[in-house]
Amino acid sequence: MHIAEGFLPPAHAVAWGVASAPFVVHGVRSLTREVREHPESTLLLGASGAFTFVLSALKLPSVTGSCSHPTGTGLGAILFRPPIMAVLGTITLLFQALLLAHGGLTTLGANVFSMAIVGPWAGYAVYTLLRRSNAPLMVAVFSGAFVADLSTYCVTSVQLALAFPDPGSGFLGALGKFGSIFAVTQVPLAVSEGLLTVLVMRLLVQSSKGELTRLGVLLAKKQSRTETETEAVAR
């Protein structure tokens, strides 16, 4: 999903940068608030960022005969909500743009928009919907991570189709072209990402119950029962 350096016309590059900036600024604020109010969450924040680092470095072969990589943004979005993931994703993209010549500074806005904003929000929305309708935690986690991954690549396809419409068939023709490169390749990788996110969430459930309860991923069963008990007593 990395649009290469200089591969978006200047007007598009600026527009995506302007669209992304408020999300990242808002994310930085949420992140500093989270760290100030809950210093103990710094470690898990680091782990969420690390997950994105690993997954976006893994280029995996796919059914279309080309390689692509997962994004790893679903986990952080589910744990810390999308604004914070916008920052973690931007850091990852900046690292790759500066050191790996993967993505770029002029296309950073567009890449941040797809991987660090739309992906996390879409994944978080699906996760929240499923949780509200009482789906099991791991089903919601898998779906959230899957959607975060796949939607990122769909956005990239739209971004490129907007910038380079097909001379004959226009925007839709180009969308089909870029979509077949990105979105189709991504389907099995999104499944992999979903499974890996479930794996990490399972490990977290074993190791960090308290943290997950505070973040609202696990429900505080005991606490709510004692709360209702004290309420009953008060009455």
Partner 1 sequence: MSRNTKINLVLLFVVAALAVLPLALGLGDHKEEPFTGADAEAETAITELKPDYEPWFSPLYEPPSGEIESALFALQAALGAGVLAYYFGLRRGRRQGEQQALEREADSALAGAAGKSTAEQD
Enumerate residues 57-76 that contact partner 1 by CB under 8 A.
57-68
- Decide if residue 25 touches partner 1 (CB under 8 A): no
- Decide if residue 226 touches partner 1 (CB under 8 A): no
Contact (CB, 8 A) for 173 and 165: yes
Segment contacting partner 1 (CB under 8 A): 42-50, 122-130, 143-151, 220-228?
42-50
- Decide if residue 39 touches partner 1 (CB under 8 A): no
Report, in Å, the least distance between residue 72 CB and partner 1: 8
Cβ neighbours for 235, distance < 8 A, ≥ 6 positions apart: none
- Decide if residue 208 touches partner 1 (CB under 8 A): yes
Binders of partner 1 among residues 76 to 105 (CB under 8 A) are 95-102, 104-105
Distance CA 70, CA 148 (A): 10
Considering the complex, state which of residue 90 and residue 186 has its C-beta at the smaller distance from partner 1: 186
- Decide if residue 213 touches partner 1 (CB under 8 A): no
- Candidate residues 28, 128, 135, 177; the one interacting with partner 1 per rule CB under 8 A: 177
Question: Which H or E run includes 26?
Answer: helix 10-37
Distance CA 87, CA 84 (A): 5
Distance CA 198, CA 204 (A): 10
The mark string for 140-169 relative to partner 1 (x by CB under 8 A, - otherwise) is ----------------x---x---xxxx--
Find, among 105, 16, 96, the residue nearest to 55 by Cα.
96
Distance CA 91, CA 164 (A): 28
Considering the complex, state which of residue 151 and residue 186 has its C-beta at the smaller distance from partner 1: 186
